[in-house]
Structure 1
Amino acid sequence: MADTTDRGDDDVVDRILSRANDSAAGYSIFGRAQALQDESTAAGSDDGEQFDREERQALRRVAGLSTELEDVTEVEYRQLRLENVVLIGVYAQGTLEDAENSLRELSALAETAGAVVLDGLLQRRPYPDPSTYLGKGKAHELREIVTSLGADTVIADTELAPSQRRALEDVVKVKVIDRTAVILDIFSQHAKSREGKAQVELAQLEYLLPRLRGWGESMSRQAGGQVGGAGAGMGSRGPGETKIELDRRRIHTRMAKLRKQIKGFAPAREAKRANRHRHEVPSVAIVGYTNAGKSSLLNRLTRAGVLVENALFATLDSTTRRTKTKDGREYTLSDTVGFVRNLPHQLVEAFRSTLEEVAEADLLVHVVDAAHPDPAAQIATVRDVVGDVGARDVPELIVFNKSDLIDDDQRLVLRGIAPDAVFVSARTGEGVDEMLDAIERMLPRPSVAVELLVPYDRGDIISMLHRRGAVRQLDYLAAGTRVKAAVTEEIAAQLQEFATGS
């Protein structure tokens, strides 16, 4: 039990999740974690066949198999049984409600990673304990809770130092991981493309490197000169590396190879981007918090068939589709990876090449979950990450998605947060036309006015003007088609031979 010195006003443990009534289903008193929406609203008819979602759900828990196996890797173990987890968090600033929202989001992350959340603990203290994160007394209380619930993993709602993780594991006697490890685990499950898998592996190795842990003499590859054991003297000294040093060197070598591999993907992406710039096609990037409905919105607009799943970080690989405004101007729409509070910096760095699509965009469509209990915090988190990738100056259109799940009072509150926002529902189609009109208004418009006389055998010029410019007037004369249009400076230079000069 905890020492009385550990019990005070700053050491109040608030239970925010109770033991599941049905531990196999993983439901708490809060029902599904609030970061996840109801299954009936997760996907619609505009989302295509969704073959990827079926593939992801093909391998789940297999009934009747023993999970107490020896000599299996952690990945194989996770495939065989769901982990029972207890969540912990420490907060010094802000309100209890903010801390609970953060822990609910961690619960959703754990569910997405394939765990069953049994319980959750919050502690208010000035700062996390540098040794065991919770403090010695509360760590022993946590051990009792873990033992009574039969949990096999503890997840902390922050990034733990390697020493904190080891010290807490020594007390609670089960595996201890942190929020960063859970997010990396989800990314590793959902990565599909070669680039996505390489980016996730690089982020995992950067996270793992300072957290390598040796396990006694069996990990050693060194021996002293005066060794008493038989066969441990001359000839046993080896290359002078311990096993953990060898692992570190191999990780550094693998990381260098992955960085080179990711760099090799850049030319193809840059060629596509240069092709769009050459043809002056404006680009729109859809950004937002994870599970806000970005992929559903892209599917509603373009029928792209992008995977839609009621899970956090369902989309890791960016998807780009071409569409048109009502006046015929072409532009591209790009779906991007979702963001989350305390997004690991390893992931931001690893996915920087993918997030270049955001920095290069002409307009950001910032999708926000209107039904979330704290949309303002989501907006702030996304803007922070957007600033980190150098896109702070890109124009932004706030779009409150899932508007069919809120009432008029909630709309009024959201309008106060973002007065110029558009309310849409990717599921019902409400507000989509209004959003498209807003995108059309905010896209950069051609600024050079031209008047051309185009021969009738050059219909390709007229078609290009409709596609890449803004045609104001068409007159059909004997000598050809007289066109008044607005175009970019580059196109105006190319069409100089058709200029009438009047």
Structure 2
Amino acid sequence: MSETNVNQVQEVIIAGMSKTVSNYDYAMSELEALVEANNMHAALRIDQGLDKPNSATYFGKGKVVEIKEDAEAHDLHIMVINADLTPSQVRNLEEQTGLQIIDRTGLILEIFGTRARSKEANLQVKIAQLQYQLPRLRTSISNRLDQQAGAAAGGGGGFTNRGSGETQLELNRRTIQDRISHAKHELKELNKDEEVRRSQRDKAGLPNVALVGYTNAGKSTTMNGLVRLFGKGEDKQVFEKDMLFATLDTSIRQLTFPDNKQLLLSDTVGFVSNLPHNLINAFRSTLAEAANADLLIQVIDYADPHYKEMMATTDKTLKEIGVTDIPMIYAYNKADLTEANYPNQQDDQLIYAAKDEKSLQVLTQMMKDKVFKGYVTTTLLIPFSDGDVVAYLNDNANILKTDYVADGTQLEVELNSVDAQRYEKYVVTPA
């Protein structure tokens, strides 16, 4: 969107093909939510029931005329379509209706372009935007994505062919390809740094729990509630807002429980149905926390009537990014907006409310039961000369009993596998 309209809600048409999409009404309600997330309002909805899209204009000829007339009658200038269109379909629709056409992938890219905050997220989005533009150099009327990607790359306007012939078009293509290569190189360097940090976290021996799920299901609210209870201060809160894709960055916080057990909690980017493949590929590194987690918590909007479809979307996306065979807790959030009793735990499932402390305590115990199964309870006899070991264990382990004997300090203590191996020499062998 242009700078002059950044705070102005744009009235748009949303449109779709009902027979080509399963659960069409849900798909269109999701499109409307995406439109709202992009500072737009769906003022008019147009549906068509063709068995398959028209290869030239997506919609049938009669529907195209109807769209043009309805747009003029309502003084609307943008149409968002619940499908991925070919470049020629976009060009033909724009020529025949006089509207700016945005397909589903283009819409999601616009949202991601405004949400990216960190350097990594900006690079990931820029790569996806440039890849999207490459086959569309001659189709865009307003160059909205061109301007966004050009600005993100530090340049001026976009790359759309401005009538200077095939040579200029080829130059534009090479320019985009060069920028993609440059951005990928920058991202690779950032990923190396993150791999080093991840390796350091792994050496610390702390379990990693990742929150995953559909966008706006309440992952960030859940994380903030847990951080308030077990984190190190309010400054560790992550951004949360009632909108799709409120944040694209993975946030990691350390939780320390009253028994001194610790874990790392990750809040990952949310999913949406039919997330563009180039975005899935771009965000693989961001979602690496989920891929390397010891436990996943799938946060589900239990108040949404389509929550089962959202769960299916999450499961599908996790498989696409290679996240499989990791234990999972199914956390049905927003129970306070339903008539369900909460918190209510059944095996690996929890009905809860992210702003309810009792709910968070139950979720915490479920997490601990899963990730701390490898802890061992043992008795250590530590000489008085090794007081630093006692100090460390008092700060970092669950001390069940302390006795002072002639040879030193005897502790009955619960240890993780790393500390159990580290302090094996102090273990008291049963008589």
**Structure 1-normalised TM-score?**
0.75
Match of 2:101 among 176, 187, 192: 176
Q: Is the 8 A contact 1:286 1:294 kept in 2?
A: yes
Give 1:282-293 correspondences, 5 Å limit.
282-293=207-218
Shift of 1:270: 1.7
Secondary structure in structure 1 of the residue aligned to 2:317:
helix
Q: Which one scores higher on RCO, CA 8 angstroms, separation ≥ 6? A: 1
* Residue 2 (structure 2) pairs with residue 92 (structure 1): no
Residue-pair matches, total: 404
Fraction of identical pairs, as percent: 34
Q: Are 2:30 and 1:105 equivalent residues in the alignment?
A: yes
Q: Which residue of 2 aligns with 1:480?
A: 408
1:402-455 CA deviation, whole Å, 9 max, x = no partner?
11100139x8xx99xx87421222234351111111111111433556442112
Secondary structure of the residue that 1:309 maps to in structure 2?
A: coil
What is the DSSP-based 3-state SS (H/G/I as helix, E as strand, rest coil) of the residue aligned with 1:311?
coil
- Shift of the 281–80 alpha-carbon distance from structure 1 to 2, 3 Å rule, reads closer
Does the alignment pair 1:438 with 2:363? Answer: no
Indicate which of 274, 280, 288 corresponds to 2:199: 274
1:229-270 alpha-carbon deviations (Å, 9 max, x no partner): xxxxxxxxxxxx622111110000000010011111123322
Distance 1:217 1:257 in 2: 22
Secondary structure, counterpart of 2:384 in structure 1? coil
Counterpart for residue 126 of structure 1: 51
1:333 to 244, 265, 279: 265
Following TM superposition, by how much is the alpha carbon of 1:351 offset from its aligned partner in structure 2, in angstroms? 1.1
Residue 212 and residue 424 in structure 1: after superposition, are their counterparts in 2 closer, same or farther (change >3 A)?
A: same
From the two aligned structures, give the one with the greater helix fraction: 2
Please, which of 192, 199, 220 is the counterpart of residue 164 of structure 2? Answer: 220
Give 1:226's aligned residue. none
Query: Is 1:399 equivalent to 2:331 in the alignment?
Result: yes
Distance (Å, rounded) in 2 between the aligned partners of 1:325 and 1:357: 21
Query: What's the offset of the Cα at 1:201?
Result: 0.7
Q: Is the 8 A contact 1:469 1:486 kept in 2?
A: yes
Give the 3 Å change call, closer, same or farther, for CA 256–217 of structure 1 in structure 2.
closer
Decide whether aligned partners of structure 1 residues 129 and 474 sit closer, same or farther in structure 2, where only a CA change above 3 A counts. farther
Shift of 1:462: 3.5
- Corresponding residue to 2:321 among 389, 402, 419: 389
Query: Contact 1:319–1:335 at 8 Å: present in 2 too?
Result: yes
Cα distance in 2 for residues equivalent to 1:397 and 1:165: 42
* Aligned mates of 1:367, 1:274 — CA distance in 2: 27
Q: Which runs of 5+ in 2 are unaligned?
A: 142-159, 229-235
Q: For residue 456 of structure 1, what is the amino acid of its counterpart? A: F
Between 245-254 and 489-498, report the one with greater CA deviation.
489-498
Amino acid at match of 2:242: N
With over 3 angstroms needed to count, the CA separation of the structure-2 counterparts of 1:433 and 1:494, relative to structure 1, is closer
Which residue of 339, 343, 350 maps to 2:282? 350
Q: Deviations over 1:147-188 (max 9, x none)?
A: 111111111112111122112222211111111111111111
Is the 1:316–1:337 Cα contact (8 Å) retained in structure 2?
Answer: yes
Q: Which aligned pairs between 1:461-476 and structure 2 lie closer than 5 A?
A: 461-465=389-393, 471=399, 473-476=401-404
> Which amino acid in the other structure matches residue 299 of structure 2?
V
Give the secondary-structure state (helix, strand or coil) at the position aligned to 1:426: coil
SS in 2 for 1:353: coil
Alpha-carbon separation, structure 2, partners of 1:100 and 1:143: 23
2:59 and 2:358 map into 1 onto residues whose CA distance is 47
Question: What are the within-5 Å matches in structure 2 for residues 353-364 of structure 1?
Answer: 353-364=285-296
Q: 1:427 aligns with which of 352, 355, 375?
A: 355
Equivalent residue letter for 2:138: R
Residue 113 of structure 1 deviates from its aligned partner by 0.6
Aligned-residue Cα RMSD (Å) equals 2.6
Deviation at 1:482, TM superposition (A): 2.2
Q: Any idea what SS the aligned residue of 1:308 has?
A: coil
Could you tell me whether the CA contact under 8 Å between 1:302 and 1:323 is conserved in 2? yes
Deviation at 1:208, TM superposition (A): 1.0
Cα displacement (A) at 1:284: 0.8
- What are the within-5 Å matches in structure 2 for residues 451-466 of structure 1? 451-465=379-393
| Aligned match of 1:231 | none
Q: What is the identity, as a one-letter code, of the residue corresponding to 1:395?
A: P
Alpha-carbon distance change, 186 to 280 in structure 1, aligned in 2, over 3 angstroms: same
**Contact preservation (8 Å) 2:161, 2:172:** no
User: Are 2:299 and 1:367 aligned?
Assistant: yes
Label 1:488 to 1:263 Cα distance change in 2 as closer, same or farther (>3 A): same
**Contact map agreement 2:377 2:415 (CA 8 A) in 1:** yes
The correspondence of residues 70-219 of structure 1 with structure 2, limited to 5 A, is: 75-76=2-3, 78-79=5-6, 81-92=8-19, 98-213=23-138, 219=163
Residue in 1 aligned with 2:146? Answer: none
2:175 maps to 1:250: yes
Task: State the 1:194 CA deviation.
Answer: 1.1
The structure with more radius of gyration: 1
Deviation at 1:217, TM superposition (A): 9.4
Task: State whether residues 161 and 169 of structure 2, in contact with CA within 8 Å, keep that contact through their aligned partners in structure 1.
Answer: no
In structure 2, the CA distance between the partners of 1:431 and 1:324, relative to structure 1 (3 Å rule), is same
Are the equivalent residues in 1 in contact too, given 2:82–2:103 (CA < 8 A)? Answer: yes
Equivalent residue letter for 1:498: Y
Shift of 1:136: 1.3
The question of 1:496 aligning with 2:418 is answered no
| 2: CA distance, partners of 1:322 / 1:218 | 52
Write the distance in 1 (CA, Å) between the matches of 2:358 and 2:107: 35
Which piece of structure 1 moves more, 491-500 or 162-171?
491-500
**What is the rounded CA distance, in whole Å, between the counterparts of 1:463 and 1:385 in structure 2?**
45
Say which of 368, 380, 384 aligns to 2:312. Answer: 380
1:281 positional shift: 0.4
Cα drift, residue 463 of structure 1:
4.7
Alpha-carbon distance in structure 2 between the residues aligned to 1:184 and 1:447:
44
8 Å Cα contact 1:91/1:127 also seen in 2: no
Q: TM-score, normalised by structure 2?
A: 0.86
